[in-house]
């Protein structure tokens, strides 16, 4: 017998279905909402979505385990398309003893580094992230970079929702990483060596990413378009002309408000300029223990709405289906559609537009990954004496 689960009675079911490519412009606001919606899950995949009344009458639904979503928002799980999970412990921005005692990646054993990364993943799951990317790039030495990538591989063996990205500007490790299948993406910070690195990675069939860096992103965008990279990040200094050029490509602009907020630079990416030009944008936490120590996509959405003038609908599209496109996984995650993985959230709010207002709060009631409940918030027991 197939294992069936029926989630019914959602106040708002945000499906984000119906788009063949990443959402752009006004389409970012189209969440394809079904009031009083339901999702039928069979063997870990979405079998059907629609009004509760229709799905409750399906033969498979009559024998399904039931989850009551009354009064709640149901939506796809968040996709965090830019993190540094295996980067060691928190580093403090002061001269206290804590800073002097902070360990480097080189000093950490693979077991300790993996345990710290796993803790970060668990925090992300509690806040609704069901798929995430993790990057190397801070190991400095080849040995440390390989240590980070091996931690990624060990976490993937636990069936965790992790995509591995190798970040470098020289190609010497690429053949080894390719042979051992330690990364799915190769990414480069833009500079004189970026083109050669990305070309070498492209020949080995890695998917590509690029970081525009702190200066003008014009040349980085040109390289991104030339090599058809999946995503480009760090676009704080993008101009309207840059946006128009980027809009002509399939490259997704990954915006990272978290590091800007944490470091206090106030130089947020020009989201409105990019969206109005038709650029496909995604959001990521940019999690890193020094520059962006938050695994909460909910906080990222709040920052996107408050500091970058995005609407809640735009931020949700950028955090789900467009982020899935940035990771080239949109055929299997990012929206609630028949045949896709049953990765979804139940939120303790009746309207998705509340999400950015409750900054600093975790509104997740339940996290479901591949049809399995991974997180369920415990209820407060009354009376409190």
Q: Which domains does the chain have, with CATH numbers?
A: 4-76+335-376 (2.30.40.10), 78-326 (3.20.20.140)
Q: What's residue 91's pLDDT?
A: 65
Q: Which helix (H) or strand (E) holds 75?
A: strand 73-76
171 secondary structure, DSSP code: -
83 secondary structure, DSSP code: B
CA angle centred on 128, ends 212 and 110, rounded to 5°: 65
| Residue 59 three-state SS | coil
CA angle centred on 115, ends 114 and 117, rounded to 5°: 65
**Residues 58, 383: Cα–Cα separation, whole Å:** 40
pLDDT tens for residues 107-138?
889 999 999 999 999 999 999 999 999 999 88
**Residues 132, 379: Cα–Cα separation, whole Å:** 28
Q: What's residue 158's pLDDT?
A: 85
- Under a CB-based contact definition with an 8 Å cutoff, are residues 318 and 340 in contact? no
Give the mean pLDDT of 164-168: 97
pLDDT tens for residues 288-323?
988 899 999 999 999 999 999 999 999 999 999 999
Phi then psi dihedrals of residue 12, to 5 deg: -135, 125
Q: What percent of the chain has pLDDT over 70?
A: 96
Enter the tokens of residue 253. 């602009």
Phi then psi dihedrals of residue 261, to 5 deg: -65, -45
Confidence class for position 101, pLDDT limits 50, 70, 90: very low
Question: The pTM is what?
Answer: 0.94
Give the mean pLDDT of 225-238: 97
Give the mean pLDDT of 235-241: 96
DSSP character string of 269-311: --HHHHHHHT--EEE---BBTTTB----HHHHHHHHHHHS---
pLDDT tens for residues 48-93?
999 999 999 999 999 999 999 999 999 999 999 999 999 877 766 5
pLDDT tens for residues 178-202?
999 999 999 999 999 999 999 999 9
- Checking if the pLDDT of 378 tops 90, the result is no
Looking only at the bridges linking them, the beta strands covering 281-283 and 231-233 are: unpaired
Tracing tokens 């980085």 back to the chain, one arrives at 220
């Amino acid at each position: 017998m197939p294992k069936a689960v029926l989630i019914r009675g959602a106040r708002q079911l945000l499906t984000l279905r119906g788009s063949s490519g990443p959402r752009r412009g006004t389409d970012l606001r189209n969440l394809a909402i079904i009031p009083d919606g339901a999702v039928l899950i069979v063997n870990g995949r979405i079998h059907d979505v629609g009004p509760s009344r229709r799905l409750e009458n399906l033969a498979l639904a009559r024998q399904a385990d039931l989850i009551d979503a009354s009064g709640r928002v149901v939506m796809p799980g968040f996709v965090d398309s830019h993190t540094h999970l295996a980067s060691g412990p928190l580093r403090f921005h002061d001269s206290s003893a804590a800073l002097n005692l902070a360990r480097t990646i080189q000093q950490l054993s693979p077991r300790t580094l993996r345990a710290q990364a796993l803790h970060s993943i668990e925090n992300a799951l509690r806040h609704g992230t069901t798929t995430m990317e993790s990057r190397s790039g801070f190991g400095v030495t080849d040995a440390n970079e390989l240590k980070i990538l091996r931690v990624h591989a060990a976490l993937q063996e636990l069936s965790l929702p992790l995509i591995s990205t190798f970040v470098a500007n020289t190609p010497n490790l690429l053949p080894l990483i390719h042979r051992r299948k330690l990364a799915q993406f190769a990414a480069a910070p833009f500079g004189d060596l970026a083109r050669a690195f990305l070309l070498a990675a492209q020949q080995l069939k890695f998917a590509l990413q690029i970081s525009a860096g702190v200066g003008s992103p014009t040349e980085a965008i040109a390289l991104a378009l030339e090599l058809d990279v999946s995503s480009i990040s760090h676009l704080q200094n993008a101009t309207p002309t840059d946006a128009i050029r980027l809009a002509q490509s399939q490259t997704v602009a990954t915006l990272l408000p978290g590091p800007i907020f944490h470091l206090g630079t106030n130089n947020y990416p020009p989201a409105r300029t990019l969206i109005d030009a038709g650029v496909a944008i995604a959001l990521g936490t940019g999690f890193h223990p020094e520059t962006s120590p938050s695994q909460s996509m909910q906080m990222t959405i709040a920052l996107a709405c408050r500091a970058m003038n995005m609407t809640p609908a735009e931020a949700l599209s950028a955090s789900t289906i467009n982020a899935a496109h940035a990771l080239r996984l949109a055929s299997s995650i990012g929206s609630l559609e028949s045949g896709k993985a049953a990765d979804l959230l139940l939120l303790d709010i009746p309207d998705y537009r509340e999400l950015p207002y409750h900054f600093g709060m975790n509104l997740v009631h339940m996290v479901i990954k591949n049809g399995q409940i991974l997180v369920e918030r415990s209820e407060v027991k009354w009376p409190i004496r």
